[in-house]
Amino acid sequence: MIIKVFGCFQGDKKGEPWEGDCSTREGWEKLIQNPKIIGERNKGVIVEHEVELKEKRPPRLYFLDSIQEELGRILGMTPKEVLEGPCQELYEVRKLITYPRSSSFYISRERYETLKQQAPALARLVGFSEEDLVFPERLDGFFVNDKKAANHSAVVPTTLIPTEEEVEALPDALKIVYKAVIRRTLAMFFPKYEYEQTTIITQVGAGRFKTVGQVPKNPGWQVLFQDSASLLDGVIEESEARELVKVQINDTVTSHLVPAERHVKKPPRHTNSTWLRALRTAGRDLEDEELIAIMNQIKGLGTAATRGAILDEIVVNKWVTVKQGKIYLSELGWLICETLKDERVLSQPETTAIWEQSLSKIAEGTNTQEKFLKNIYRYLGIENPHNNLIENLIKAVDRTDYIPFQDFIEQAVAKADGKLGNCPLCGKAVKVLGKSKVAQCEDNILSKEEREREAGATPVCSFNFWITVGFIKDKKKTLTKKQISDLLSDKGRTNLIKNIEGKYGPFDAYAYLSFNEEKGIYQVNLEVDKATSKK
């Protein structure tokens, strides 16, 4: 249990409430023993007060993940769209940025020197001047690493520098991405961000609570991101730029102790960018140290170049739906999770780690390709009738006790093959082919080949009906798929259809299906809605 203190100052020192965590274990254990103290207003004393000048370095240079994540959020695109759209065009067509599929956030010494020379020109493109730049005396290993930039390096501007007019003429998405890459790169040549960090320790009863606040002193590189606020929240993490009320040691305050559990919020829904991050950090909570190291080394699931596509695939398959940038599990997605959860091979990130481990062992010569494949066959259980992965999954689907899913599957299957309902004569599927105006039983439909092959061939089932309603030629309404389904359902009729063209003007009616004995055919009849027919 964690207890937080909300402090309020007394008298002329009254200020905003603030929040602190009980900083010693013994402290809060004693507090819990005294239930009266929780939820009550108590006297607190400031026992420590420290102000420290701190600095923060700029964020790392862009690499595939971060560029997809941040620009995706700003442009409202999926990671894959960011990569294949503006990034690819800036790289391949306009030649303004370096290779965007890079998983490295380092640049070589040589590239650094080039960028340093270009910095004044780049600064002008984003509204800054040479005077704003500061060139550090020593190379910063945080950005520059020849070894780690050997294959691919961070995404930075190329040596081709366009004029201001040319930049302004770029399509919006390109302009936003290009300028973001410039700002991110220029941050290397801006002063550090400096802030004052204030730490206050408040003693309440036996508990000591720590409160931390920040006051910005010199914005440094942060000025680069200030006119693009949305960029800022990705770049400046945990920005607790919260000024604390000025206090001194021995000041007394009123405090309010509240168990922190009350403030626990549901984790927020994933967005495209947090989702991407989740893939990258997957596996950090594995139990096996070696596997954790492997997952860290390979940076989670997938690679920087494939993660965006993996997530897109999940959306396309409708395992999730995206509403207003937030990601929701669909019925199908829920079922997949529910079904796979017992098959650890398929559902746990450690599978990736174990396979990567095997691959590196093959590279080292301590494992063989044959052994590796044999293990995969064993996982699949292809030759094992009692433990076959596919069979197990089918059983798991059956075991899944989830009624909405049964409906869902029926609908999905019906949708996939165009089935609108069941034939009242033989029970088979009723469909409407292409732009046909006739709904037909499956067995009433003869393919072109069948007709050609057997001239005069007759369909097995005779069920069909016209799906248009109305009495004026050329102005007939075609029933929607939903309305046709309704006709064929137990309900037997449609909802109110508005504005059907009649001989004396438009009218509203319900449609239902009936058999015309005289003509020997099924047809759609109308029941005029009395409430709306008097117009």
- The full DSSP string for 256-276 is EEEEGGGGPPPPPPPBHHHHH
In the complex with Zn ion, which residue's Cβ is closer, 352 or 444?
444
**What's at 513, amino acid-wise?**
L
In the complex with Zn ion, which residue's Cβ is closer, 183 or 431?
431
Run of H or E residues at 78: none
Q: Minimal distance in Å, beta carbon 443 to Zn ion? A: 5
Phi, then psi, of 222 in degrees rounded to 5 = -65, -25
In the complex with Zn ion, which residue's Cβ is closer, 303 or 462?
462
Integer Cα distance of 443 and 426 in angstroms: 9
Q: Minimal distance in Å, beta carbon 426 to Zn ion? A: 3
Buried b (16+ CB within 10 A) or exposed e, 105-139: bbbbeebbebbeebbbebbebbebeeebbeeeeee
In the complex with Zn ion, which residue's Cβ is closer, 136 or 492?
492
In the complex with Zn ion, which residue's Cβ is closer, 257 or 488?
488
In the complex with Zn ion, which residue's Cβ is closer, 206 or 426?
426
C-alpha angle 498-501-505 in degrees, rounded to nearest 5 = 100
Q: Minimal distance in Å, beta carbon 465 to Zn ion? A: 12
**Residue 218: helix, strand or coil by DSSP?**
strand
Integer Cα distance of 403 and 410 in angstroms: 11
In the complex with Zn ion, which residue's Cβ is closer, 221 or 463?
463
Q: Minimal distance in Å, beta carbon 446 to Zn ion? A: 13
Residue 283's alpha-carbon distances to 97, 267, 345, in angstroms, are: 32, 19, 14
Q: Minimal distance in Å, beta carbon 466 to Zn ion? A: 16
Phi, then psi, of 439 in degrees rounded to 5 = -95, 135
Checking 318-326 for CB contacts under 8 A at 24+ apart, the result is 322/272, 325/73, 325/76, 325/271, 325/272, 326/269, 326/270, 326/271
Integer Cα distance of 396 and 399 in angstroms: 5
In the complex with Zn ion, which residue's Cβ is closer, 224 or 441?
441
Integer Cα distance of 58 and 47 in angstroms: 34
DSSP 8-state symbol, 312: H
In the complex with Zn ion, which residue's Cβ is closer, 339 or 464?
464
Q: How many residues does the chain have?
A: 535
In the complex with Zn ion, which residue's Cβ is closer, 212 or 461?
461
**Tokens encoding 140:** 């910063």
Integer Cα distance of 167 and 496 in angstroms: 56
Query: Could you identify the residue written with the tokens 């092959």?
Result: 453
In the complex with Zn ion, which residue's Cβ is closer, 292 or 425?
425
Q: Minimal distance in Å, beta carbon 453 to Zn ion? A: 21
**What's at 83, amino acid-wise?**
L
Integer Cα distance of 496 and 528 in angstroms: 9
What residue ranges bind Zn ion (CB under 5 A)? 423, 425-426, 428, 441, 443, 461, 463
In the complex with Zn ion, which residue's Cβ is closer, 149 or 513?
513
**Residue 253: helix, strand or coil by DSSP?**
strand
Check if the beta carbon of residue 200 is closer than 8 Å to that of residue 211: yes
Q: Minimal distance in Å, beta carbon 522 to Zn ion? A: 11
Which one, of 180, 200, 301, lies nearest residue 245 by Cα? 200
In the complex with Zn ion, which residue's Cβ is closer, 155 or 441?
441
Integer Cα distance of 181 and 193 in angstroms: 19
Q: Minimal distance in Å, beta carbon 81 to Zn ion? A: 46
Integer Cα distance of 214 and 25 in angstroms: 25
**Tokens encoding 448:** 């072109």
Check if the beta carbon of residue 474 is closer than 8 Å to that of residue 486: no
